[in-house]
């Protein structure tokens, strides 16, 4: 906390009063010149969204972030707080962050007129200069702009015509701050209209009070493209007043998606030490989301949030942690059979089209996992042909023949030693991994063995049964 000072002390300190747009621009320019990262943690946006954001800020524009769910729109908006000065001076006691250099409320104007340079100035930290509102159909003008407060009028014995009886809404209270309005199309059209003058001229009107209040706010709106045509829409004059519209997108590569999941998933240090995740398991997890975005069963307009893989990673770790608890072991490794535990994360994060509803959410989740398994499998091993010429040997002939006379059971609760010993029994499996995946780590090689078995069952080359264990034959 910075200590309160007088207005004279503030002026003597050489403080330069700036608009919020000038403030953000100055800090952005300083970061760029110092070669410091501007927006941290926005993986995959370095060459697309971030350059557009920088230009919008330098242009002094209000911003509309348009994209499907789970594309870090809110994270982008919140990260803009770091471009504010650490502390901002305000007239002490002001409800709307009045600048002592340019007071706009009656309270601040009267106080400075009375006390002049002796007016007390307090400081607001940048963390308190971020306001966020989710646009829901029940939001009204009083919430955003303000209303007459009859209790204040009665307490102060003031007529309703006096400006001091006004109760300011969220937007005036966000003066000289960043104001984020999420899901803008959900805001009723008549409420959107109330934002026109605030964005353009700074005028606000409350119950007949025509106030000239040049509010200084950096607006950031977020919206889903689907909402333009389905649940709501942005009225054209409001859209016209938003300077820059920036499209967000999902990560375009598995590597970027992995970085996002690793950054956002809530996993304790203790669990990270006790549970090892093979690199291929991380790839497979992201591949499930990529498969969902291309699936005929999933509504592409609704999108597949990055939260799917974040939640799935947490469920995957929880499955391994449960194994540690039940087996009283100290260490384990994520297995392919553990991926059944991510089904609740998938079903809760996707919107199904009619064909998907017919299949059922759980079945669609299993289909997505199977599709991801095949995609990952074919990056490492030769494709499994559906039709084989009789007598012609394929890379998997010895393996399928082995299973003609044998079977194995893979139990969720087996220790790593027991689980791997079971896989090692399948000699042709060891030979396949040695031939095509010898450069991989030991954990990834064992994951490959499961991958081969799973892919062969998907291709109907092996039979698989599930009942607390996975039996392959």
Report how far apart the first and last C-alpha atoms of the chain are (Å, whole number).
68
Q: Chain-centre distance of CA 237, in angstroms?
A: 29
Structure tokens at 20: 């919020």
CA distance 7 to 5: 7
- The answer to whether residue 388 scores a pLDDT higher than 70 is no
pLDDT in tens, 224-265: 887 655 455 788 888 888 999 999 999 999 999 999 999 999
Q: What are phi and psi of 387, to 5 degrees?
A: -110, 130
pLDDT in tens, 174-210: 999 999 999 888 888 888 888 887 887 666 767 666 6
H helical segments located in 141-243: 141-144, 150-156, 170-173, 189-193, 196-200, 236-241
Nearest partner of 314 among 342, 289, 284, judged by Cα: 342
Nearest partner of 456 among 466, 448, 446, judged by Cα: 448
Which range has highest mean pLDDT (111-115, 156-160, 324-328, 395-399)?
111-115
CA distance 135 to 187: 5
Maximum pairwise Cα distance, the chain: 101
CA distance 279 to 439: 13
CA distance 433 to 440: 9
Residue with tokens 């535990």: 341
- The confidence band for 301, taking pLDDT boundaries of 50, 70 and 90, is confident
- The answer to whether residue 145 scores a pLDDT higher than 60 is yes
H-helix or E-strand containing 363?
A: helix 361-380
> Is 270 exposed, middle or buried, given 0-12, 13-18 or 19+ CB atoms closer than 10 A?
exposed
pLDDT at residue number 22 = 95
pLDDT at residue number 168 = 83
The overall average pLDDT reported for the chain is 89
Which residues of 120-260 form beta strands (DSSP E)? 120-125, 130-134, 146-148, 166-168, 178-182, 203-206, 209-212, 218-223, 244-247
CA distance 410 to 472: 8
pTM (two decimals): 0.85
Question: What DSSP state is assigned to residue 58?
Answer: H
- The answer to whether residue 83 scores a pLDDT higher than 70 is yes
């Amino acid at each position: 906390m910075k200590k309160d000072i007088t207005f004279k002390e503030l002026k003597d300190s050489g403080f330069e009063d700036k608009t919020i747009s000038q403030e953000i621009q100055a800090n952005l320019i300083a970061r760029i010149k110092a070669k410091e990262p501007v927006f941290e943690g926005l993986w995959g946006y370095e060459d697309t969204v971030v350059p557009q954001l920088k230009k919008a800020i330098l242009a002094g524009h209000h911003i509309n972030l348009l994209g499907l769910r789970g594309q870090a729109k809110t994270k982008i908006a919140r990260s803009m707080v770091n471009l504010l000065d650490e502390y901002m001076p305000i007239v002490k006691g002001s409800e709307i962050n009045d600048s002592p250099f340019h007071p706009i409320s009656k309270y601040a104007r009267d106080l400075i007129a009375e006390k002049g340079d002796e007016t007390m100035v307090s400081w607001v930290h940048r963390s308190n200069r971020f306001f966020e509102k989710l646009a829901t159909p029940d939001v009204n003008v009083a919430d955003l702009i303000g209303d007459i407060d009859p209790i204040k009028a009665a307490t102060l014995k003031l007529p309703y015509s006096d400006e001091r009886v006004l109760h300011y809404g969220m937007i005036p209270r966000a003066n000289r701050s960043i104001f984020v309005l999420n899901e803008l199309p959900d805001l009723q059209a008549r409420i959107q209209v109330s934002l026109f003058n605030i964005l353009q001229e700074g005028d606000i009107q409350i119950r007949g009070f025509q106030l000239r209040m040049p509010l200084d706010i950096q607006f950031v709106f977020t919206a889903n493209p689907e909402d333009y045509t389905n649940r709501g829409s942005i009225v054209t004059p409001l859209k016209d007043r938003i300077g820059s519209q920036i499209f967000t997108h999902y990560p375009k590569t598995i590597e970027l998606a992995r970085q996002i999941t690793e950054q956002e998933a809530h996993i304790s240090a203790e669990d990270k030490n006790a549970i090892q995740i093979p690199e291929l398991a991380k790839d497979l997890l992201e591949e499930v989301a990529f498969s969902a975005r291309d699936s005929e069963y999933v509504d592409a307009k609704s999108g597949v949030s990055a939260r799917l893989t974040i939640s799935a990673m947490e469920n995957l770790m929880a499955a391994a942690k449960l194994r540690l608890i039940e087996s009283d072991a100290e260490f384990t490794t994520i297995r392919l059979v553990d991926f059944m535990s991510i089904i609740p994360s998938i079903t809760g994060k996707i919107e199904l089209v009619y064909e998907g509803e017919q299949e059922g959410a759980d079945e669609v989740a299993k289909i997505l996992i199977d599709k991801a398994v095949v995609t990952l499998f074919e990056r490492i091993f030769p494709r499994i042909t559906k039709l084989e010429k009789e007598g012609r040997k394929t890379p998997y002939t010895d393996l399928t023949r082995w299973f003609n006379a044998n079977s194995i059971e893979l139990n969720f609760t087996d220790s790593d030693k027991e689980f791997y010993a079971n896989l090692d029994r399948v000699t042709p499996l060891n030979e396949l991994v040695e031939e095509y995946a010898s450069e991989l780590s030991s954990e990834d090689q064992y994951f490959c063995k499961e991958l081969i078995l799973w892919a062969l069952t998907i291709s109907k080359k092996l039979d698989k049964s599930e009942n607390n264990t996975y039996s392959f034959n």
